Structure 1
Amino acid sequence: MLTKLEKAEKRWGGSHNLIDQWINHRRKLLIQYFIVAGLAPYSRSEKSLPSMDQVKQFCAQLVDYVSEGHFEVYNNVVKACEKFGEASIETANGLLPMISESTDIALDFNDKYTDAVDEQVLYQLDNDLSHLAQAMESRFELEDELIELLYQRLP
């Protein structure tokens, strides 16, 4: 996921404030994911789990990212696509329902871990993170299609 982010930064970085903001927030989310998952360069000892506080910070970042997409970024992309004709609008509107599928997975993950009263739930974290990562990777690919749609039309 990080490699794809770096490619996105190289391809689209600096082309539009909205794109730069979106990519920057994705980077922050991925860093939090790596911390919670214990992935390099944030590895932790083999048998340790992240703290509930770390998991809750990741959940907050996750919800912020997902919310920003639905309530700010996607609307702005669709509005920008209106200038580019019906085909652009249809493409953008076709991607949004597919992106929403990952939103449900992200919100379920958030609910499970932010509402947890027992740290025993952390023993399920690896499997849940794996499932979430698959959904988010698909989401990032779809979001990149939206970014490309906008980028292709920039002056």
Structure 2
Amino acid sequence: MLTKLEQAKLEWGGSSHIIDNWLNDRQTVLVGYCELAGLPPYNKDEQTLPSPEKVQEFCQVLVDYLSTGHFEIYDQVVSKCESHGKASVTLAKELYPKISDTTDTALAFNDKYAEAELDEHAASFDLDLSQLGQIMEQRFALEDQLLETLHSKHVTA
């Protein structure tokens, strides 16, 4: 996922504040995810659960990312797409429900882990985190389609 993010930054970065901010927020989520999962370069020597503070911090970043997307970015992208024709609007409106579906899974993760003691859910944490990673990867691919549409129309913000 981090490699795809770097590719996205190379392809679309610098062309719009909307895109740059969105990609920076995505990077914050991905780094937090990698830290929780113990993925390189954040490998843990021991197989232990992350601290409750780390999980809460990640959940806050995740919810912030989701909220920014739904309540700020998507509206701006759809608005920009509207000025570039029906094909762009159709794509944006087609992708939005699919992106919304990924939100439900991410919010379920947040609801389960943001305020809970990890010991209560220790047996399911790794599986839930893995499923969240898969869902977020799908979401990022969908968002990238929006970014491509926005970028291809040479939108600047």
TM-score w.r.t. structure 1 length?
Answer: 0.96
Q: Structure 2: 5+ residue runs without aligned partners? A: none
**Correspondence for 1:99:** 99
- Contact persistence 2:36–2:50 (CA under 8 A): yes
Deviations 1:120-147 (A, max 9, x none): 3133211001100110000000000000
4+ aligned runs moved over 6 Å, structure 1: none
How much has 1:95 moved relative to structure 2? 0.3
- Contact persistence 1:52–1:119 (CA under 8 A): no
**Correspondence for 2:86:** 86
Q: Report the Cα distance in structure 2 between the residues aligned to 1:125 and 1:139, rounded to whole angstroms.
A: 21
Deviates more, 1:40-49 or 1:14-23: 40-49
Q: Which amino acid aligns with 2:137?
A: E
**Correspondence for 2:77:** 77
Q: Which amino acid aligns with 2:65?
A: Y
Q: Report the Cα distance in structure 1 between the residues aligned to 2:18 and 2:72, rounded to whole angstroms.
A: 10
Q: How many residues align?
A: 155
Deviates more, 1:54-63 or 1:119-128: 119-128
Q: Which amino acid aligns with 1:67?
A: S
TM-score w.r.t. structure 2 length?
Answer: 0.95
Percent identity among equivalent residues?
Answer: 50
Q: Structure 1: 5+ residue runs without aligned partners? A: none
Give SS of 1:84's match. coil
